[in-house]
Amino acid sequence: MFSSIAYSSFFLSTILMTLLIYQSKAQLNATFYDTTCPNASSIVRGVIQQALQSDIRIAASLIRLHFHDCFVNGCDASILLDNSANILSEKDAGPNTNSTRGFNVVDNIKTALENSCPGIVSCADILALAAEASVSLQGGPSWSVLLGRRDSLTANQAGANSSIPSPFEGLSNITSKFSAVGLNTNDLVALSGAHTFGRAQCRLFSNRLYNFSGTGNPDPTLNSSYLTTLQQICPQSASGFNVANLDPTTPDTFDNNYFTNLQNNQGLLQSDQELFSTTGAPTISIVDTFSSNQTAFFQSFAQSMINMGNISPLTGSNGEIRSDCKKVNGT
């Protein structure tokens, strides 16, 4: 009798826990602001269109903020928090310092949204909406952004240092970091395709140009003429903060040329080229598919962005809706 009651209690608690997990996912939906801030998406898009007039890089910078946010404690806008008495900012973590940009545009979006519907749209949702608008405005796919995230009350600088994939890492390590947040190999290749636009600083790939893995020679997977071009942009004596196009063919357009570049040994970052040059890797066939079929890439990319946007969101009464994306309310 007791065992059957205990089993029933365990069974019910398991069902309840399952329902809670699914509810947290289900609370994100594309119509979340339809009544409270119906113009949210168009407001975000308008601010980014304006920003693009003077900074063509901003689209790639904004999608990178969403990516670097979601990989650390989930998509909670923790990356936007400045240092304070209680916050050790993720902006100062290795993958972000002197590198992430676009925070001023996020602030402009927040101001515009607060003017239209104060206290409604979270900073975490701003990053998700900005990523979609940035891609579609530069020629890429559109998708229905799932919304309803709330903003974190803290940051995780140590997590940013350990969880964000590095351009210097091997494919197995990067695959593990994606797997740790519930993303698979197809997501990895599709989301890497965001490197079809934007720039990277020389310090993130100069190891490939002169002394790869301590060999004293360039990375053998680098196309020789491309190597020469990159050495001109990034001389050994330079500071490392010069920038090169992630996609040398169509640097500001969101298309599938990134994957063709990999096939031609013209991936800029080590982590890019390894998708195609790692012997026997399951990523190779996906690169081939996306290179030959832009529609397949666009469809996979949109779904993978939705998948990434679903990483551990704060919903319901968790977190808050920040009035200033740079700081926790009341500080």
Say which amino acid occupies 248.
P
Separation of alpha carbons 53 and 121, rounded Å: 25
Which residue is associated with the tokens 């994100």? 28
User: DSSP secondary-structure letter at 214?
Assistant: G
The candidate with the shortest Cα–Cα distance to 246, out of 296, 186, 201, 181, is 201
Q: What are phi and psi of 154, to 5 degrees?
A: -150, 170
How many Cβ atoms are within 10 Å of 274's Cβ, its own excluded?
21
What Cα–Cα distance (Å) separates residue 305 from each residue in 296, 300, 313, 323?
Answer: 14, 9, 14, 26
Residue 320 pairs in a beta bridge with: 151
How many Cβ atoms are within 10 Å of 210's Cβ, its own excluded?
16
Cβ atoms 28, 315 nearer than 8 A:
yes
Which residue is associated with the tokens 């949204």? 113
Six token digits for residue 156: 């995780």
Options 57, 64, 66, 68, the catalytic residue: 68
CA angle 94, 72, 258 (to 5 degrees): 75
The candidate with the shortest Cα–Cα distance to 49, out of 64, 62, 32, 33, is 62
Cβ atoms 186, 224 nearer than 8 A:
no
Q: Is 68 in the active site?
A: yes
Determine how β-strand 199-201 pairs with β-strand 243-245. Answer: antiparallel
The candidate with the shortest Cα–Cα distance to 180, out of 74, 274, 271, is 74
Cβ atoms 211, 217 nearer than 8 A:
yes
How many Cβ atoms are within 10 Å of 234's Cβ, its own excluded?
24
Which residues are part of the catalytic machinery? 68
